[in-house]
Amino acid sequence: MRKSSVPSVLLLLATSLALLTSACLTAAPLTPLSPLTVVGSLDSTPVEVVEARIILSRGKHMVETTVPVQNNEFQGVLQVPIGNWELTVFLVDAEGMVHFQSKPQPVEITYGRPTTVELVLQPAASTVHITIDLDGYIFRKEALRARIYFNDDLYEVIREDADAPFEATLEISPGSYEFKIELYTETFHVGNRLGVGIWQLIDIAENEEVSITWRPETEDLFITGRVDTLLPAPAWLNVNGSGPQVEITWAPVEHLNLQGYIVLAKNSPLERFQPLNSIPIPTTSFLHTLDPEDLPSEIRYVVAAVSMNGFVGYYSTPQIWSP
Q: What is the pLDDT of residues 294-319, one digit of tens each?
A: 899 999 999 999 999 999 999 999 99
Which among 164, 171, 126, 125 is positioned nearest to 148, based on CA atoms? 171
73 and 142, same domain (yes or no): no
Indicate the average pLDDT of the chain: 84
Q: In this structure, is residue 51 part of a structural domain?
A: yes
- The mean pLDDT of 19-24, rounded to a whole number, is 32
261 and 186, same domain (yes or no): no
- The mean pLDDT of 71-77, rounded to a whole number, is 79
- How many domains is the chain built from? 3
- The mean pLDDT of 83-102, rounded to a whole number, is 86
Domain with residue 289: its CATH number is 2.60.40.10
- The mean pLDDT of 137-146, rounded to a whole number, is 96
116 and 132, same domain (yes or no): no
140 and 92, same domain (yes or no): no
Among 13-17, 47-51, 64-68, 122-126, the range scoring the smallest mean pLDDT is 13-17
Residue 124 has pLDDT above 60, yes or no: yes
> How confident is the model at residue 29, as a pLDDT?
36
Residue 114 has pLDDT above 50, yes or no: yes
Q: In this structure, is residue 19 part of a structural domain?
A: yes
Residue 81 has pLDDT above 70, yes or no: yes
> How confident is the model at residue 193, as a pLDDT?
96
How buried is residue 156: exposed, middle or buried, by Cβ count under 10 Å (0-12/13-18/19+)? exposed
> How confident is the model at residue 2, as a pLDDT?
37
Contact in structure between 177 and 204 (CB atoms under 8 Å) = yes
Q: In this structure, is residue 226 part of a structural domain?
A: no
Give the model's confidence band at 262: pLDDT under 50 very low, under 70 low, under 90 confident, else very high. very high
115 and 58, same domain (yes or no): yes
Given 214, 246, 262, which residue is the final one in a domain?
214
Residue 279 has pLDDT above 80, yes or no: yes
26 and 70, same domain (yes or no): yes
Residue 222 has pLDDT above 70, yes or no: yes
Q: How far apart are CA 265 and CA 277, in angstroms?
A: 10
Domain that holds residue 146: 126-214
> How confident is the model at residue 31, as a pLDDT?
53
281 and 248, same domain (yes or no): yes
Q: In this structure, is residue 230 part of a structural domain?
A: no
Give whole-number Cα distances, 60 to 26, 63, 85, 319, in Å. Answer: 15, 10, 11, 94
Q: In this structure, is residue 1 part of a structural domain?
A: no
Residue 235 has pLDDT above 80, yes or no: yes
Query: How far is C-alpha 107 from the geometric centre of its chain's CA atoms?
Result: 36
Among 20-34, 68-82, 216-230, 245-259, the range scoring the smallest mean pLDDT is 20-34
- Length in residues, the chain: 323
106 and 35, same domain (yes or no): yes
97 and 66, same domain (yes or no): yes
Taking the whole predicted model, whether its pTM rises above 0.95 is answered as no
Residue 17 has pLDDT above 60, yes or no: no
Given 198, 214, 230, which residue is the final one in a domain?
214
- First-to-last alpha carbon distance for the chain, in angstroms, is 84
Q: In this structure, is residue 44 part of a structural domain?
A: yes
Give the max Cα distance, the chain. Answer: 121
